[in-house]
Amino acid sequence: MSSFSAAVPKHYTGTIENNGFWPDLELEAFMTAYGVDTRLDEATIRNLLLNAMLTVNNDLSDWVQHQRDEHGATEIGEVQAEVLNGRHLYIVLYEMAVYNRAKADFLHNFVEYSTTGTRGQRGQGEDRVEEKQEHADHYYASSLKAIRRIKGKRGARVKLIKGNIQGQPGQFF
């Protein structure tokens, strides 16, 4: 008889209601598309998505107001855009912006590591933390890129360079 017990992954099917202009978002769509850790409870996932939604909505508020004032749009589906695979381009980009932001926030706020190094040495745990932060930076950048595309702005490539500023290793300039 084996003592192995596989945990059944959780799938939350709730919806986060949006502001009427942008679409409501599904918890399960986020979890599936972005490989969210199924050990998180529903409230944590809801909070990640809600916070990301609020941030993205705020970043797009001037653009939304322009669509309302200039084009009379009361919801994103009324804004003229390409339809790809049956989906409105701005909805796809909005979901990318919110989901990437939520994933970045998850990686940034829920870093798990162990301290395996000794004093003066980098441990595997520290390497893992740095790796997760690099992944978080990627997701933040992807979110901002989607927001810029919605706003009609050309992409800008920015790379942070680690350097030594006045004898302070690891500072960014």
Q: How far is CA 93 from CA 23, 82, 109, 145, in A?
A: 11, 11, 24, 9
Q: How many C-beta atoms lie closer than 10 Å to residue 106's C-beta? A: 23
* Mean pLDDT calculated for residue range 17-30: 95
For residue 164 the two structure tokens come to: 């030594």
What does the H/E/C string look like for 74-129?
A: CCHHHCCCCEECCEEHHHHHHHHHHHHHHHHHHHHHCCCCCCCCCCCCCCHHHHHH
pLDDT in tens, 41-86: 889 899 999 999 999 999 999 999 999 999 999 999 999 999 989 9
Provide the 8-state DSSP code for 17: -
| DSSP H/E element including 151 | helix 124-151
Residue with tokens 């998180």: 40
CA 83 to chain centre: 23
Using an 8 Å Cβ cutoff, are 45 and 103 in contact?
no
Query: Rounded to whole angstroms, how far apart are CA atoms 49 and 16?
Result: 8
The H-or-E segment that residue 168 falls in is strand 168-172
- Write out the two tokens for 57: 């909505």
CA dist 94 and 53 (Å) reads 9
Tell me: the pLDDT tens digits for 112-169?
A: 533 333 434 444 445 455 655 678 899 999 999 999 999 999 755 555 555 444 444 4
**CA distance to 31, 33, 127, per residue, from 36 (Å):** 5, 8, 21
pLDDT number for residue 157: 58
